[in-house]
Structure 1
Amino acid sequence: MFNVLTHRVYRHLFFAQVIALIGTGLTTVALALLAHDLVGGQAGVVLGTALAIKMVAYVGIAPLVGAYASRLPRRTLLVSLDLLRAAVVCALPFVTDVWQIYVLIFLLNACSAGFTPVFQATIPDILEDEAQYTQALSLSRLAYDLENLLSPMAAAALLMVMSFDVLFVLNALAFAISASLVISVLLPASQPLEEIPGVWRRISHGLQIYLKTPRLRALLALNLAVSAAGAMQIVNTVVLVRSMLGLGEQEVALAFAAAGGGSMLVALLLPRLLDRLPERPVMLLGGMIMALSLYLGWLGPSFAGLVGLWWLLGAGASMVMTPTGRLLKRSCQPQDRPALFAAQFSLSHCCWLFTYPLAGWLGLNVGMTEAFAMLGTVALTATVLAVLAWPRRDLDTLLHEHFPLTHSHLHYHDEHHQHEHEGWEGAEPHSHPHTHSRQVHRHLFVIDNHHTRWPL
């Protein structure tokens, strides 16, 4: 997995990602302490609202940025968003009221909703080799898991020698270092993009590609399974360990670490496994593992049993999330990657926006045993829907028919554009009125402006 770090451009971007993640983890802890300083025992309500605002920013902003990201210089966009995040975090120590937290959290996560999909869509343009790209996906998954494990411990150690306000400053410094690492490399230019008329059509372009592609509709269902399992683990661990099992803070940390440990182990093993198997059986198995783990929680496990269940949840989630980038890369034209990665970012967080409050409400009002069962049913139903939506023979090259069409758009002279010119059209890619005749042919198929429906 670590061989991919010999690629200089990717290495700089990867460490930019890691440093930004560590800084964000410090802010998570500092934000909880800031909320407690402001409202005392109601800090949980403030944090829950901030989490909901974060998800709303992710869901609403990502498609908007994805619609226009290909029209902007990548490096300038990423650096600008990093510096904006640094400025917002620097403002957090000066907060005096709860509403100010909400505004700053929205701004911070609006920038993240722009940064993350563009960053993710840039990696396959840097690592065109499929094996290297798979290694990069696993390494990215490992980075997220390590951040979840190490950032709280790092924050605890720092708080022994400094106030929590300094953690915000360290996060701003992390974003600044991330920006400097992005500046230090040249990123490939965005592919020329066909002009799509209308703001809404531009914003919804990535969503349309996503929802018209069978394997991505299955991915959306699996995202729901991941969010059902993850919400149960994130929202209810402290209640299960402290209130129901009567254990302490160390056991809470161990339970969270178990999910991260399962996810990391799978991330380490997946590159070799995906050399031998397609994504479909691996990801569907991950969905089934998560559903089974939630149903086993119905038995009211001991602490050791809960650790085992959380380990399985983490492993199953990693089996789904790690190969996601490969599916997205396969399912669009290079110029549509920012829009499609933004659609994945937005739709997956829609699932979390649904399951976070559901897990909390079920645990509080129905009971933990019933919460396990009901969220297990959500995960199982989502996985079954993914099985039905994802064709067993998921071929890349498909036979399909084009109907006669006359239109104008930016194009190269590829297999869909073979026509005469009068000399004024200019260099490729260029735009002028042209006619497509009826034809039936077979080639690598993705949804785009020439292929608006998946062939039956």
Structure 2
Amino acid sequence: MIRALSNRTYATLFTAQVVALLGTGLMTIALSLLAYDLAGDAAGAVLGTAFTIKMLAYVGLSPVLAAIAERLPRKAVMIGADLVRAAVALALPFVSEVWQIYVLIFLLQTASASFTPVFQATIPDVLTDEDEYTQALSLSRLAYDLENLLSPSLAALLLLVISFHGLFVGTVVGFLVSAALVAQTSLPRSAQSAEKRPFRERLTRGSRIYLATPRLRGLLALNLTAAAIGAFVLVNSVVLVRAEYGLGERALGVAMAAFGGGSMLAAILLPRVLRRVRERDVMVPSAIALTALAFVFAALSWGASLPAWGVFLTIWALIGALYSAILTPSGRLLRISAHSEDRPAIFAAQFALSHACWLVTYPLAGWVGKAAGLSVSLLVLGGLGVFGVLAAIRFWPANAERIVEHSHPHLPSDHPHMKAYLGQGQNHAHAFIIDDEHKVWPTHG
């Protein structure tokens, strides 16, 4: 993964991502403790609602913001989003009511809905080599795992000398440093379509390409599986650790570090694996194993029983590894499924549609856990994970190929696309991507 970091622009962007996520990780721990301070045993429901509001901002606003930002400089969009996030994080220590958490989370995540798709779509233009881009995806996964590993460890140390309200200051610093690093980079200009598309088409283009591509429909189904089990971990870990195990604040950091450590290990191993194994052959078996592990933990924790603390941490680490194995290859699938000018739109579509899965799973994790118990909540979420696996197998066939033979009966012979494959006749084959000349996948009519 060192080769990707030899690119100075990417190295600076990666550093910005790491710093911002470390700050976000501190905020996650502080927010969990703030929710527990305000709501006690109902903290899981509060966090479930807060995360649901976060997903509403992502799902509802991401495509709109992406369409607006398409004509704006990438650097300005990312710096502006970081500054807004820093301002909102600065207000969080002064929260005294649950509803205030909800308002601030909505504002903060609206800014994130602007930043993240633009950031993700920029990386393939910075790293054009496929191996380097795969390394960047693993590094990105590692950066997200630092949020679950280093941030809780740092939070545990800071909590020895400050109250959890002070952790929000780290979030502010993270966003400000991220903005400063982005300001130092020289980003490639985003590819522009020769045709200036109206706003309405720009708003829906990413989702139309996404949902017309079989491998991406399969990816969306696998995102549902990852979100189902991931939501349980993120929402209910604080309840399991504090209320069920009766442990202190630092133990929550240990639990989240176990989850993040497993995820990091998988991300480190994946670049080598993906050189020899197709994405589907990694992602689908990992999703099957993830749902099976969820059912195992539900059985072990049924009723008043709980597995030993060491067993709990081991299961959390395995869940983290399988979760990472599902999500890390996603960028490779998105990169091969859109032309350069459509990548911001398709990354925004992935951002919105994948978070729509979390919009379903976060409330289930919080409210079902509160009403019927954590084991029942995990059984429900595990069932949703099974549905995602079955849908992925149905939508994304095991024998799917990137190069697809097809024809264009409605294109004239002098069309530029037909001229490019002159000599092959009406039927020709190439890496199939949904665009203006290829609006429907051949196997679907």
State the partner residue of 1:429: none
1:191-235 CA-partner distances (Å, limit 9, x unpaired): 012546554332111111111100000001100100111122223
2-structure distance, mates of 1:45, 1:374: 16
- Correspondence 1:6-25 to 2 at 5 A: 6-25=6-25
1-structure distance, mates of 2:227, 2:48: 16
Bigger relative CO (Cα 8 Å, ≥ 6 apart): 2
Structure 2: which 5+ residue stretches go unaligned? 302-306
Change over 3 Å in CA distance of 1:371–1:52 after alignment to 2 = closer
State the partner residue of 2:407: 401
1:298-355 CA-partner distances (Å, limit 9, x unpaired): 4315223333322221111111101000000010111111111111111111111111
1:30-86 CA-partner distances (Å, limit 9, x unpaired): 445666777788766554433222111111111112223332211122122212222
2-structure distance, mates of 1:245, 1:180: 42
Structure 2 SS opposite 1:442: strand
Structure 2 SS opposite 1:402: coil
Structure 1 position 182, deviation (Å): 1.2
2-structure distance, mates of 1:224, 1:145: 19
Change over 3 Å in CA distance of 1:194–1:211 after alignment to 2 = farther
Paired AA for residue 374 in structure 1: V
1-structure distance, mates of 2:30, 2:336: 40
Paired AA for residue 350 in structure 2: Q
Structure 2 SS opposite 1:356: helix
Percent of residue pairs bearing the same amino acid type: 52
Structure 1 SS opposite 2:70: helix
Structure 1 position 250, deviation (Å): 5.4
2-structure distance, mates of 1:380, 1:444: 31
1-structure distance, mates of 2:400, 2:152: 41
Change over 3 Å in CA distance of 1:94–1:240 after alignment to 2 = closer
Alignment RMSD (CA, Å): 2.7
Asked if the contact 2:212/2:434 (under 8 Å) is kept, the reply is yes
Change over 3 Å in CA distance of 1:384–1:98 after alignment to 2 = closer
2-structure distance, mates of 1:381, 1:309: 22
State the partner residue of 1:441: 428
Structure 1 position 94, deviation (Å): 5.2
Change over 3 Å in CA distance of 1:106–1:245 after alignment to 2 = closer
1:80-105 CA-partner distances (Å, limit 9, x unpaired): 22122223323444556554443332
Change over 3 Å in CA distance of 1:12–1:199 after alignment to 2 = same
Asked if the contact 2:20/2:174 (under 8 Å) is kept, the reply is yes
Structure 2 SS opposite 1:446: coil
Q: Which one of 350, 366, 374 corresponds to residue 372 of structure 2? A: 366
- Correspondence 1:176-187 to 2 at 5 A: 176-187=176-187
Structure 1 position 242, deviation (Å): 4.8
Residue 305 of structure 1 pairs with residue 311 of structure 2: yes
Paired AA for residue 443 in structure 1: H
Structure 1 position 160, deviation (Å): 4.2
1-structure distance, mates of 2:89, 2:137: 28
Change over 3 Å in CA distance of 1:373–1:160 after alignment to 2 = closer
Asked if the contact 2:152/2:253 (under 8 Å) is kept, the reply is no
Asked if the contact 2:407/2:426 (under 8 Å) is kept, the reply is yes
- Correspondence 1:72-111 to 2 at 5 A: 72-93=72-93, 98-111=98-111
Change over 3 Å in CA distance of 1:192–1:238 after alignment to 2 = closer
Q: Which one of 417, 427, 433 corresponds to residue 415 of structure 1? A: 417
Change over 3 Å in CA distance of 1:115–1:306 after alignment to 2 = same
- Correspondence 1:329-408 to 2 at 5 A: 329-404=335-410
Asked if the contact 2:403/2:430 (under 8 Å) is kept, the reply is yes
Greater mean alpha carbon deviation, residues 366-375 or residues 256-265: 366-375
1-structure distance, mates of 2:293, 2:92: 39
Give TM-score, length-normalised by structure 2. Answer: 0.88
2-structure distance, mates of 1:250, 1:92: 21
Give TM-score, length-normalised by structure 1. Answer: 0.86
Structure 1 position 168, deviation (Å): 3.5
State the partner residue of 2:149: 149
Q: Which one of 432, 438, 443 corresponds to residue 451 of structure 1? A: 438
Asked if the contact 1:70/1:335 (under 8 Å) is kept, the reply is no
Structure 1 SS opposite 2:404: strand
Structure 1: which 5+ residue stretches go unaligned? 407-412, 419-437
The structure number with the bigger radius of gyration is 1
1:85-130 CA-partner distances (Å, limit 9, x unpaired): 2233234445565544433321211110110111011101111111
1:139-171 CA-partner distances (Å, limit 9, x unpaired): 111111122122233234334445555544442
1-structure distance, mates of 2:241, 2:164: 26
State the partner residue of 1:193: 193
Asked if the contact 1:285/1:316 (under 8 Å) is kept, the reply is no
